[in-house]
C-alpha cells in the first residue's frame, strides 16, 4: 500500500477510536445515597383531625447514563412519620418503603453545577410500625428537582433535591390506619452524595 493510503487508513482508525472513546464517556453508572426530612401536605382524614408530623427519610439507588443529559435511575427510599390526632402526638408511626424507576434529565452548567429534574413511578409498601401482617402495597407517582455540585474531577458529587410523592392511603388493615382512605401528597427534601463510574 502506498504511503498516502497508509496515512489515510491510520487517520480513519484514529478517528474511529476517538468516536468510540467519546461515546463510551457518555455512559456511566452512578451510585448515590441521601437523607433528609419528610412531610405530608394533606391531613389523613376529611375532618382534618389526623395528620402526620414531619419525619425523616433515608434512601439510595443506582443510575445509568444513557447520554450526556439523561439517566435512568432505580431508587429505594424509606420514610417514617408520626401520627398526630387533634394536634397531639400519638404512639403510632407510618413507615413507607418506596421502590421507584425514574428518568432524570440534567444539564451541566458552569463550575461543576448541574441542575436536574426527574419523573417516575413505582410501588410503596405502607406499614404501621409495630404491627404484623398489616402491610399494604400501592402504586405511586414520583417527581422532583435538584441541584448537584461535582467535586473536582473525582467522580464524586454532592446534591440537594426535593421530591413529590403521590399515593393513596387506603385499604390498610392495621389497627390505626384501617379507617383512613385518602389520596396523599407527600414531600421530601434530601441532601446526599453520588459517585460516577464511567463505562
Interval 83-117: pLDDT, tens:
999 999 999 999 999 999 999 999 999 889 999 99
Residue with cell 424507576: 101
Biggest distance spanned by C-alpha atoms of the chain: 90
For residues 129 and 7, the model is more confident at 129
Residue 43 clears pLDDT 70, i.e. is over it: yes
Give the chain's mean pLDDT: 88
pTM equals 0.83
Q: Topology of domain 29-198, per CATH?
A: Porin (2.40.160)
Domain ranges of the chain: 29-198
* DSSP per residue, the chain: --HHHHHHHHHHHHHHHHHHHHHHHT-EEEEEEEEEEEEESS-SSTTS-EEEPPEEEEEEEEEEEEETTEEEEEEEEEEEEEEEETTEEEEEEEEEEEEEEEEEEE---GGGEEEEEEEEEEEEEEEETT-SS--EEEEEEEEEEEEEEE-TTSSEEEEEEEEEEEEEE-S--STTTTT--EEEEEEEEEEEEEEEEE-
Amino acid at each position: 500500500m502506498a504511503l498516502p493510503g497508509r496515512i489515510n487508513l491510520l487517520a480513519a482508525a484514529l478517528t474511529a477510536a476517538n468516536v468510540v472513546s467519546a461515546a463510551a464517556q457518555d455512559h456511566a453508572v452512578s451510585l448515590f445515597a441521601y437523607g433528609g426530612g419528610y412531610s405530608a401536605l394533606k391531613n389523613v382524614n376529611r375532618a382534618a383531625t389526623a395528620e402526620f408530623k414531619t419525619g425523616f427519610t433515608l434512601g439510595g439507588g443506582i443510575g445509568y447514563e444513557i447520554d450526556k443529559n439523561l439517566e435512568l435511575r432505580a431508587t429505594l427510599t424509606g420514610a417514617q412519620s408520626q401520627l398526630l390526632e387533634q394536634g397531639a402526638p400519638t404512639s403510632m408511626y407510618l413507615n413507607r418503603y418506596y421502590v421507584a424507576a425514574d428518568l432524570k434529565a440534567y444539564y451541566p452548567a458552569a463550575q461543576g453545577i448541574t441542575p436536574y429534574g426527574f419523573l417516575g413511578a413505582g410501588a410503596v409498601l405502607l406499614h404501621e410500625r409495630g404491627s404484623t401482617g398489616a402491610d399494604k402495597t400501592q402504586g405511586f407517582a414520583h417527581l422532583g428537582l435538584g441541584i448537584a455540585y461535582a467535586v473536582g474531577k473525582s467522580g464524586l458529587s454532592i446534591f440537594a433535591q426535593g421530591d413529590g410523592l403521590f399515593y393513596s392511603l387506603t385499604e390498610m388493615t392495621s389497627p390505626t390506619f384501617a379507617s383512613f382512605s385518602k389520596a396523599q401528597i407527600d414531600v421530601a427534601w434530601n441532601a446526599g452524595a453520588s459517585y460516577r463510574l464511567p463505562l
